[in-house]
Amino acid sequence: SIDGDRLWDSLMEMAKIGKTAKDGVCRLALTDLDRESRDLFIDWCKAEGCSIRIDKMGNIFARREGRNPDLPPVVMGSHLDSQPTGGKYDGVYGVLSGLEVIRTLNEAKYETEAPLEVVCWTNEEGSRFAPAMVASGVFAKVFDLEYGHSRADVDGKTMGEELERIGYMGPDEATIDAHPMGAYFEAHIEQGPILEDEGKDIGIVTDAQGQRWYEIKFTGVEAHAGPTPMKTRKDALLGAARVVDLVNKIGLDRSPLACATVGMMQIHPNSRNVIPGEVFFTVDFRHPDDAVLADMDKALREGVEKIAKDIGLQTELEQIFYYAPVPFDKSCVDAVRMGAELGGFSAREIVSGAGHDACYLAQVCPTAMIFIPCVDGISHNEIEEVHKHWSDAGGQVLLHAVLAKADE
């Protein structure tokens, strides 16, 4: 059995790095705080006798050898970066429950057949650098290294530069070819309300929704808010506002499965008495069915064109990120199901609403995910909360699933 208290203590210790006023975490990818959390993770892994490998995307692999050095490792993990106003569990839980599995096996002096590894992926959140999961995407050969390194934040700093700056540009190739994996398991909070609502402790994640992310820029004409008649205005913010409403409608019309969000908007010149001349904003679409996702795309493009035409705006619209719905590996999903049964936890199958590094890994190695509930389904919020017995349960299921695969 894993030591739930030890796992919890590590979660709380890690949450001190980037702790916010409202008891959340702000630890944006490749900031000094991200470096601190990486350093701490590596210290903990070394204390367990693990060897450390860092690749050119800053992904960190901590390895515990198995009996058979010829077998590819069974890998557990997630990410340590957070949203600007994030919580203590999103990502961190998957990394530290992996570490807890290793601590447990060390304590029990249990040797697995295949080696085990815990991985921390870089910039999963996609908040500082878009898109999300870019480093696991490079690892899974969805993006090339150059694309990964060239992702830039709002100040124009690139991931490549920032990896160098914080000392996490590792020497190893960042692809699965250079580092084959036997299986990948990611434990994560659900970030939605389903498990808690149904009183289940464990979600057996069978699939992940597809996603499409967009960047839209409207250009109108900046002018004085006082003497410029309503009818001659080309107000870029009016256009963006109508798209926000449209995006909401696109989601609602395909409810309950669809999600549609405008999360970011930048207004220029953003002055009280100036009609905005330029607005940049983002759209995030999700659906488990790729055909519906394509239909949402169509509705967006048509709607944006009409809105821009009505107001007289110029439009730039780019889909910057897409992946189709992801089915997880049947034998890995079964290992999770079996783990939940062995542990005696209430469980149900579930589709992930969020993107995870596991979604990219699933394209190149047998992959599954374990969800635990979070209070009120709230995540990407400083008040994100988890009950300790959920955390215990997830760690235990991870242990069972990993052993099943490593000793197969």
Ligand X SMILES: NC(=O)NCCC(=O)O
Using CB under 6 A, which residues numbered 339 to 368 contact ligand X?
A: 354-356
Segment 56 to 95, residues that bind a copy of itself, using CB under 8 A: 83-85
Is 238 a binding residue for a copy of itself by CB under 8 A? The answer is: yes
The rounded distance, in Å, linking the Cα atoms of 222 and 275 is 5
Six token digits for residue 10: 């590590």
Segment 203 to 222, residues that bind a copy of itself, using CB under 8 A: 209, 211, 213, 221-222
Which residues make beta-bridge pairs with 212?
285, 322
Cβ 208 to ligand X shortest distance, Å: 9
Q: Which amino acid is at 333?
A: V
Which residues make beta-bridge pairs with 120?
60, 78
Of the listed pieces 95-103, 104-112, 261-269, 322-330, which binds a copy of itself according to CB under 8 A? 261-269
What is the contact mask toward ligand X in residues 67 to 106, using x (rule: CB under 6 A)? Answer: -----------------------x----------------
Question: CB under 5 to 8 A by kind: which of ligand X, a copy of itself, none does 81 bind?
Answer: none
Please report, in angstroms and rounded to a whole number, the separation of the first and last CA atoms in the chain. 19
Vertex 163 angle, CA 120 and 161, to 5°: 155
Q: Which of 71, 267, 324, 338 binds a copy of itself (CB under 8 A)?
A: 267
The rounded distance, in Å, linking the Cα atoms of 285 and 274 is 31
Segment 254 to 273, residues that bind ligand X, using CB under 6 A: 273
Is 259 a binding residue for a copy of itself by CB under 8 A? The answer is: yes
Is 132 a binding residue for ligand X by CB under 6 A? The answer is: yes
Is 375 a binding residue for a copy of itself by CB under 8 A? The answer is: no
Instruction: Count residues near ligand X (CB under 6 A).
Output: 13
Which has the closest alpha carbon to 88: 40, 45, 37, 32? 37
Cβ 142 to a copy of itself shortest distance, Å: 18
Q: Is omega for the bond preceding 269 within 30 degrees of 0, making it cis?
A: yes
Q: Which of 125, 201, 235, 278 binds ligand X (CB under 6 A)?
A: 125
Q: Which is nearer to ligand X, 63 or 356 (CB)?
A: 356
Is 225 a binding residue for a copy of itself by CB under 8 A? The answer is: yes
Residue with tokens 């490998």: 53
Which has the closest alpha carbon to 135: 166, 168, 92, 101? 168
The rounded distance, in Å, linking the Cα atoms of 332 and 140 is 18
